[in-house]
Structure 1
Amino acid sequence: MNGTEEIGCCGAYCGTCREYLKTCKGCKPGYLDGSRDQSRAKCRMKKCCLTRGHITCGDCGEYESCETIQSFLSHPGYKYGKYRQALEFIRAHGHAAFLNAAKHWTNAYGRYPEQDP
């Protein structure tokens, strides 16, 4: 998947997490290769995203009208705004550009490069 397994369905970047693949299995590892049972996943976003074959919820044609992701992104708090920003960046510029920006982050979200219009 070219590093995209480190992008959460919600837009979080798991690649900077110290617990990723230790105590936190993330959204995708195991589900992508079938070693984890997707029907047992508790996260509705993850189930929907992976079942539809998307990398993130932002890849879905129903993103803007999806009650599940929009409800999640509407939670109060800074991180939810950053997850929305990540998904919007991915929608506009693609996964490779997101991963390029994220390689400099120290958190699940960070700054984006200035993009030409």
Structure 2
Amino acid sequence: MEKIEANKELIAACGFYCGACRKYLADKCAGCHDNEKATWCKIRSCVRSHDFHTCAECHKDVAKCKIYFNFIGKIFAFLFNSDRAACIRYIEEHGEQAFAEEMTKRKCQTIKRK
């Protein structure tokens, strides 16, 4: 079985880790940053407009960000049982590479809600 390497470039703008996504691993998705079809994602658009890699680089508290907690984001949180804000906090505290390594080790796209 092929070992999957952690790659901080595969962290989505919102904190999902594309490197553990089945669609990405099956070459059915380019990942957040390279997926030109993802123009619908307001978080991705905001991050790109500020020349950030993720929301972790923003000076705003992610818990208070209206763009981050939009309707689509709430649906994703429900569907994936995801605590994306916890992902952003992890990145802020430990860095992108540590987050990529943790998600690769867990084989998860996101930190799960408790």
Q: TM over 0.5, yes or no?
A: yes
Structure 2: 5+ residue stretches without partners: 1-5
Residue type matched to 2:90 in 1?
F
Aligned-residue offset at 1:110: 4.7
Summarize the alignment of residues 1-117 of structure 1 with structure 2, pairs less than 5 Å apart.
3-20=7-24, 22-29=27-34, 36=36, 41-64=39-62, 65-71=64-70, 77=78, 79=80, 81-110=82-111
- Structure 1 stretches of 5 or more lacking a match? 31-35, 112-117
| Per-residue deviation, 1:61 | 0.9
Change (3 A) 1:61 1:107: same
CA gap 1:54/1:80 in 2 versus in 1, 3 angstroms = farther
Q: Flag the structure with more relative contact order, 1 or 2, with Cα contacts below 8 A and sequence separation at least 6.
A: 2
Matched residues, percent identical? Answer: 25
Q: Compare 18-27 and 97-106 and name the one that shifted more.
A: 18-27
Deviations 1:1-60 (A, max 9, x none): x92221111111110112117222221126xxxxx59xx822111111022111111211
State the TM-score, normalized to the length of structure 1: 0.69
Deviates more, 1:15-24 or 1:49-58: 15-24
* Separation in 2, partners of 1:71, 1:42: 12
CA distance in 2, matches of 1:92, 1:44: 24
Higher helix share: 2
- Number of equivalent positions: 103
Give the TM-score normalised by structure 2. Answer: 0.70
